Amino acid sequence: MSLFNVYPLNPIAITKAAGSRVWDDKGQEYLDMYGGHAVISIGHTHPHWVKRIEDQLHAIAFYSNSVIMPIQDELAKALNDISGKKDFQLFLCNSGAEANENALKLASFHTGRKKIVAFKKSFHGRTSLAVAATDNPSIVAPVNETNNIIFLPLNDIEALETCFASNGSEIAAVIIEGIQGVAGIHEASDAFLQAIRKVCDAHGAIYIADSVQCGYGRSGQFFAHDHAGVNADIYSMAKGMGNGFPIGGILIAPHIQAKFGMLGTTFGGNPLACAAALAVIEVMQKDNLIKAAQEKGAYLINALKNTEGVKAVRGRGLMIGFEMEIGLEDVRKVLLNDLKIFTGEAKPNVVRLLPALTISMEEINLFLTGLNKAIQLQLLKQKKD
C-alpha cells in the first residue's frame, strides 16, 4: 500500500529530535527554525513533557467523555491562569480545524444565525465550515461551498462597518487570525481587532480569535489577539498546545451557555493529551517562555531588518516572516540543503520562522550566521551565472 500522495515532501527522514535540533536517519543534525509548523512550543522531546505523558500512560490513556476526568479540570484551571481569561469555559478536541469548526458551530447555535465574516488570505483548517471560511478556493470541495461566508479585506475598518451595517442581524461570527500564518505573516492591527469587538457587541455577533498558530505564547502574549487589549468571545487553540501531542480546544466566554449534546467528541480531552498540554503550560510558566518569545523575537526581527538581502520583515515574537530581494529566492533551499537549517515558507516568496519558544540565543545567532552565509552563496552563484 502506498501513502496517499498529498504532501510535496523534502527528501529527508527525521527520526530523532531534542530541543531545537532534529536528526535524520543518517545521523545528520539540523537546526529547527520551523518548529514542525509552529507546533513545537517547549522544544522537541522536552524531558518534563515526556515524563508527564509516560506517567499518564501508566495510569490511564483513555476513557470516554461520559465520566468525570479530573485532569480536564486541571487543564482548564491551568489555562485560566496562563491565559488570564477568567471564568471562560473549555471545550477540548483534537486539532486546529476541529477547534475552529466547533467555534463557528457554537457561534451559530448561540446566535441562531448563519453568516460568518472571515478575511482575505485567511486559513482556518480543512473541515467543512473551517475550510469554507478559508480564502483558498483550491482546497474547498464543491460540497463545502456555501453563501454563508463573507470575505472582507484584512484591517479595513470601513469595509467591516459597512458589512455589519447591511448584514448585522444575520452575522453569527467574525473569525480572524491574530497574525495570519499561511498567508505569509500578516498581523491584524490592534485598531482592527478593537473594531471587531465593537461591531460584534453592537450587533450581537461572536468574535472568534483563531489562535491555532499565533497563540500559546508565540507572539509574546498568550494570544496574539491580546496585543489589542480587548477580549474575544471564543479563542481556538491547537498547534503549540500539546508540543506535538495532538490536542485542540476552544476557550469560551462565560456568557455563552452550554447545552448537553451541543458539541461532542470521542477523543477530545483524553487523559494523555491533557497530560501533554499540562506539561506545556508548566514548562511555559516555569521558564517564563512568553516573555522569552517576546525578547528573542524582538532580537531576531531587529537582526533580520539589518540583514542585507532581506526585505519586508513582519511578525511578532517568534512568529516571523520575511521576503528575500530579487534573485535570492532560493535561500530557503540553500539553508536546508547546504546549511542544514529548517525554515517554513508561505507562497509565493515568504520565509517563515516558527521555532520553539525555548530556542537559545546561540541557536538564534547560528541561524542568523547561516542566513548570511546562504545569502552570500546565492550572490556568488548569481555572479557566476
Q: Is there binding between residue 97 and ligand PLP (CB under 6 A)?
A: yes
Pairwise CA distance, residues 227 & 159, whole Å: 22
Is residue 124 a contact point for ligand PLP (CB under 6 A)?
yes
Specify which residues 35 forms β-bridges with.
Answer: none
Q: How far is the CB of 123 from ligand PLP (least distance, A)?
A: 5
For ligand PLP, the closer CB: 180 or 378: 180
How many residues lie near ligand PLP (CB under 6 A)?
A: 14
Instruction: Please tell me whether residue 111 binds ligand PLP under the rule CB under 6 A.
Output: no
- For residues 233 and 363, which CB has a smaller minimum distance to ligand PLP in the complex? 233
The residue (of 178 and 370) whose beta carbon lies closer to ligand PLP is 178
C-alpha 109/C-alpha 335 separation (Å) is: 48
Kindly state the smallest distance separating residue 238's Cβ from ligand PLP, in Å: 5
DSSP codes of every residue in 121-173: T----SSHHHHHTSS-GGG--GGG--TTEEEE-TT-HHHHHHHHHHHGGGEEE
Smallest distance, ligand PLP to C-beta of residue 117, A: 16
- H helix or E strand, kind and range, residue 47: helix 47-59
Which H or E element spans position 209?
Answer: strand 206-210
Residue with cell 528575500: 324
Give the DSSP letter string of 93-110: ESSHHHHHHHHHHHHHHH
Binding window for ligand PLP (CB under 6 A); candidates: 117-125, 282-290, 308-316, 348-356? 117-125
Q: In what order do the strands lie in the sheet with 310-316?
A: 310-316, 319-324, 350-353, 344-346
With contacts defined by CB under 6 A, name the span among 93-101, 108-116, 193-201, 358-366 that binds ligand PLP: 93-101
Tell whether residue 355 is a contact of ligand PLP (CB under 6 A). Answer: no
Q: Would you give the binding string for ligand PLP spanning residues 164-183, x where CB under 6 A is met?
A: -------------x---xx-
Using CB atoms, what's the residue nearest to ligand PLP? 96
Residues 15-44, one symbol each (x = binds ligand PLP by CB under 6 A, - = not), give: ------------------------------
Interatomic CA distance for residues 6 and 138, integer angstroms: 13
Q: Where do we find the cell 482592527?
A: 192
Contacts of 185 by beta carbon, 8 Å cutoff, 6+ apart = 179, 314, 315, 319, 320, 321, 346, 350, 352
Give me the least distance between CB of 66 and ligand PLP, in Å please. 25
Question: How far apart, in whole angstroms, are the C-alpha atoms of residue 277 and residue 290?
Answer: 16
293 and 220 in contact (C-beta within 8 Å)? yes
Interhelix angle 289-305/361-384, rounded to 10 degrees, is 20
List the grid coordinates of 330: 532560493
Single out the segment in contact with ligand PLP by CB under 6 A; choices: 42-50, 121-129, 183-191, 295-303: 121-129
Residue 176: phi, psi to the nearest 5?
Answer: -150, 135
DSSP letter at 192? H
Nearer to ligand PLP, 97 or 375 (CB): 97
Judged by beta carbon, residue 317 or residue 370, the one nearer ligand PLP is 317
Q: Please list every residue from 211 through 270 that binds ligand PLP, using CB under 6 A.
A: 212-213, 238
Q: Restricting to residues 202-221, name those near ligand PLP by CB under 6 A.
A: 210, 212-213
Of 243, 241, 299, 247, nearest in space to 271 by CA: 247
Segment lying near ligand PLP (by CB under 6 A), choices 21-29, 92-100, 136-144, 146-154: 92-100
- Is residue 56 within the footprint of ligand PLP (CB under 6 A)? no
Looking at 43, 96, 244, 249, which residue binds ligand PLP (CB under 6 A)? 96
**Least CB distance to ligand PLP at residue 132 (A):** 13
List residues binding ligand PLP (CB under 6 A).
Answer: 95-97, 100, 123-125, 177, 181-182, 210, 212-213, 238
